[in-house]
Structure 1
Amino acid sequence: MQQQPTDASPHTARRSDAPLTIGVVAPRSGRLAKLGDPLMFAMGLLRSRLRHVRNQGRGYELRLVSRDSRSEPEAARRATEELIRHERADVIVTLAGTRVLPAVADTCEELHTPCVTSTFPWQVYYFGRGATRDRPFRWTYHFCWGLDDIASVFADMWERVGPGRTVGCLWNDGPQGNWTRHQEEGFLPVATARGHTLVDPPGYREPATDFDRHITAFLHDGVEIVTSAATAADLALFHRQAVQRDLRPRLITCSRWLAYPVGATGADDPAEAKVASLVYWTPRHPYRSSLDGMRADELADCYEELTGAQWLQPLGPAYALFEVAVHALATADDPTDRQAVAAAIARTRLETMAGPLDWTTGPVANVATVRLTGGQWKRGDGYPHELAVVTNSGCPDVRLDGDLELLN
C-alpha cells in the first residue's frame, strides 16, 4: 500500500541513551516456517557480533529483536507493529512469503519505519503494492531479481532444447502468476521477445488439486517445456498427473520454492523430472560480507556444521539484510531519525554476501537488483540432491558445475 509523504510520526520520543534496534520479522511457525530458517540463522550468528554500531565517530548500542509472522499476513502485520511500537525498531528486515512480505512492508510504510526486504521478485513487490515509476515508496526498500531476469535465465535453458520453443506456463491466479504474465512488466515480454511461444491456461488456485486443464492445453499445443512458479507440492502434483497422461516435458523450469533443497524421490524427484531453477547464491559465489569479511563458502559451511542441514540459497540474502540495515544506521545523517535512515538506504551502494547492491541505479526507486544464474537439481553425494549451476550468462564470475540435462 503506497503512502503519501508526510512529516507525521507514530513514534514516541527516543531516550538519548536508548539502543538502536533492528527488528526481524520471520516465519518461525506455520506453513512458511522453513523459509524463516535462513533469516533466523543469520540473526543468531550475528547477534553476538552486532552489539554496537558507529556513526560519525559515536558508538551506539545495537539490538536485534525478532517476532514470528506465523506465516500469515495479519500476524505479520501485528508482529511488525509490535516491533515498531513496543520495541522501537529503527529498521525492519524480512524475506520471503508472497502475501507475508508485502504485509510487513506495507505496515512499515504506514508506520513510517525503514524496511529492507528480499527474495521476492521486485515487480511484484513494487508495482504489486501500488507504487509507480513516478510515485515510489518513501520508507520501504528491496533487493532481488526481477521476473524479467528469471525469463532471461530460463530462456537460456529453453534454448538448449532449441530456438523458438512452445512453453507451457504453470502459473497461479495470485500476485506471482498475474505479474509473471503481465504484458509490460513481467516475465512474458522478455520470453516472447526471445522467440518463444507461451501457452498460458487460466491460473490455478493454490494449493492446487488438479492440473487436468493445463495438461490438456499443453498436449494440444505440443508443449516440450514447462515453466512455473509453483510450490514444490503443486509442481509434484502436476508432474504425477502429467506422467499419467503421457505428457513428458523435456525440461521444467521452476522458480520460488524449487530454489530450496528438496528431498523427494520417485515420481516427485526433481532430478528425474529434469527440473531447473534460478540460482542467486551458492557457496561457490565470489561474495563476501561487508560486516565481517565472511565468504559465501564459509557461511554455507557454518550453516551445515551448526544445523546439520544442507545449505540454503536464501542464506546469502538473509545475511545481506543485516549488512544493509547496519550500513544504513552507520551512514545515516542521524541514526536515531528514521527519515535519515531511510535516506541512507536509498543511497546505499554495498558489496554484500548477496553480491553488489546499488539502490542508486535500480530499475525503479526503492529497488536494487541481484544477479541470477540458472541451475538444475541433480543427484548429490553428501545430500540427496544438489543444485548445479548450468548457465551463467547473467553472472559470468560464477563457475559452471555441469551441463543442463534434458529428457530424451
Structure 2
Amino acid sequence: MNRKPDTTTGNPLALTRRSFIAATAVGGATLAMGANAAFAQSGDTIKVGFISPRTGPLAGFGQTDGYVLDLAKKALAEGFQSGGKSWKVEIIDQDTQSDPSRAGQLAKDLINNRNIDLMLVVSTPETINPVADACEAAGVPCLSTVMPWEAWYFGRGAKPGQPSPFKWTYHFGFGVGEFFKTYVSQWKLIETNRKVGVMYPNDADGNAIRANLAPLLAKEGFTIVDPGPYEDGTTDYSAQISLFKREGIEIFNSFPIPPDFAAFWRQAAQQGLTRKIKICQVAKTGLFPSDINALGKLGMNISSAAYWHKAFPYKSTLTGVSGTELADGYETASGKQWTQQLGASLALLDAGFEALKASTNVKDKAAVAKALSTLKTTTIAGKVDFTSGPVANVSPGPIIGTQWVKAASGSKFPLDYVVTENVTDPNVPVGAKLLPYNG
C-alpha cells in the first residue's frame, strides 16, 4: 500500500487511523477495478519527485518553486512524449522544512512508497546531499542543482583523482572555479587594498569554499583574513569583527545562512567595520530580495552572484518561457519581486525532462541514469553537458557578478538586482557598473 506523507505531523512516514481507513478504501476500490487496469494506469504515468526547502531558514530558495511547478504542470498537462509514446506525468513535490534529516526521509518515502522514476532536488547541501545519498543507495536516478559541485561531489565521498563512486546521481551548476573567476573579475572593478575578510561557516558549503576558493584567491594576490569556521546559529561575532578591523580589510566575503549574516552585518555596522568596506560580496544570503530588504539601508550596494538572472538570454525547453517572461509572470502572479531561484528550479525541470525524453525507456531506472550521463542541452539557465565535466556526474555552470542597488523612481520594489560582470557567461549582458559598498 502506498503511503503519502502526513503533512499534519511533519513526518513523511506517519499514517493516522483516518488516513489508514481512507487508504484501505482506495486500495479496495482499485482491486475491484481489476489488477490489470490498475497496472495499466500506473504503467502509463511517469512519477517525478521534486524536493526543495519551502519553509524554514532556507525558505528563500523555495519561495518561487510553487509558481515554477505550476508552469511545468501546465506544460505537461497534455502528456509527455518519450520513446514514441505519450505519458502522463505526476510531479510529487515535497518541502524539507530546511531540515537535512527530513530531506533524507522524504527521499526514502518517494522512492519506497511513491515509486518515483526520477528524483529532482534543488538548493543547498542541506537539501541535496541527503536526497542524493538516498537515491544512490536505492538505485534511483537523481538530478540536482544550486550548490557548489565540489560540496556535492567530494562532500559525498568522492576522492580527487579517483573514478566517480556515483552511478545514479548527477549535479549541474557552479563550482569553486566559477566563483573564483567571478570574484576576481568583480573585485578588479573597484580599487582596494586587496585584503579580504572571509566568514566561511562550518558546513558543507563553507568547508568546500575554504578548502578550494581561498587558496586560489591568495594565489591571485588577495590577502585572505580568515578567523576560522563558525557554527550556524552563532550570535556574537565580536571576535571576527575585531580581527577584520585590525587587519584593515576592504573586501568582505561570506557564504552564510540569512539569520547569521543579518546578525553579523548589524554588529559589524555597530562596531564600525562596515564603514571601511568597499566590496561586500555575499553568497547564499545575498541571493534573494527578502533577505537584503530585511537589512534596510545596510543592504544597499551589497554584491552578490547569480546562477540565474532574468537577463540570461535562454528559453525554457519545457515551458518555452524566456527569462523576462518568467520573472514578470512571477511578479504579476505573486506581487513579490522575482528571484534567481525561478530560473534555477525551472532549469532543473528542463534538464530532467530532457533526460527523460532522451531515455530509451522512462520506466527503466538504469536507462534514465544513462540518459543523464550523456545529457547535452540548453536550459533557461544555460548549457548542461555531462559529457565534458571536470569530473564524472558533474556539469559546471555559470555564476555572474551582481549587485543590489537602489531602484529607479517609480519602481514597485525598493532595490534592483543588476548584472555587473559576466566572465563565466559572456552571453549575459552587463547592465550596470559596480558601485562601492560605501560610495
Q: What is the TM-score normalised by the length of structure 2?
A: 0.84
Residue 414 of structure 2 is matched in structure 1 by 384
Residue 10 of structure 1 is matched in structure 2 by none
Q: What is the root-mean-square deviation of aligned Cα atoms in Å?
A: 2.0
1:269–1:110 distance in 2 versus 1, CA, 3 Å:
farther
Q: Secondary structure at the match of 2:261?
A: helix
Unaligned runs of 5+ in 2: 1-37
Residue 272 of structure 2 is matched in structure 1 by 246
Give the C-alpha shift of residue 197 in structure 1.
Answer: 1.1
Q: Distance in 1 between matches of 2:318 and 2:365?
A: 22
Residue 367 of structure 1 is matched in structure 2 by 394
The reply to whether residue 57 of structure 1 matches residue 84 of structure 2 is yes
1:168-317 equivalences under 5 Å are 168-182=197-211, 186-247=212-273, 248=275, 249-262=277-290, 268-272=296-300, 274-317=301-344
The reply to whether residue 393 of structure 1 matches residue 423 of structure 2 is yes
> Which of 126, 132, 135 lines up with 2:153 in the alignment?
126
Q: Distance in 1 between matches of 2:294 and 2:83?
A: 59
1:212-245 CA distance string (max 9 Å, x none)? 1211211222211111112233222222222232
Q: Distance in 1 between matches of 2:431 and 2:299?
A: 15
1:164–1:195: 8 Å Cα contact kept in structure 2?
no
Give the C-alpha shift of residue 40 in structure 1.
Answer: 2.6
2:121–2:127: 8 Å Cα contact kept in structure 1?
no
Q: Distance in 2 between matches of 1:307 and 1:265?
A: 17
Residue 404 of structure 1 is matched in structure 2 by 434
Residue 3 of structure 1 is matched in structure 2 by none
Q: Distance in 2 between matches of 1:317 and 1:71?
A: 18
Residue 30 of structure 1 is matched in structure 2 by 56
1:359–1:365: 8 Å Cα contact kept in structure 2?
yes
Q: Distance in 1 between matches of 2:189 and 2:226?
A: 22
Residue 368 of structure 2 is matched in structure 1 by 341
1:64–1:265 distance in 2 versus 1, CA, 3 Å:
closer
Unaligned runs of 5+ in 1: 1-13
Residue 117 of structure 1 is matched in structure 2 by 144
1:262–1:385: 8 Å Cα contact kept in structure 2?
no
Report which stretch shifted further, 256-265 or 328-337. 256-265
Calculate percent identity across the aligned residue pairs: 31
Q: Secondary structure at the match of 1:198?
A: strand
Q: Secondary structure at the match of 2:319?
A: coil
Residue 155 of structure 1 is matched in structure 2 by 184
How many residues of Structure 1 are paired with residues of Structure 2 in the alignment? 391
Please say which structure displays the higher CA radius of gyration. Answer: 2
Give the C-alpha shift of residue 270 in structure 1.
Answer: 4.5
Q: Distance in 1 between matches of 2:121 and 2:370?
A: 19
Give the C-alpha shift of residue 264 in structure 1.
Answer: 5.2
Q: Distance in 2 between matches of 1:25 and 1:94?
A: 5
1:53–1:329: 8 Å Cα contact kept in structure 2?
no
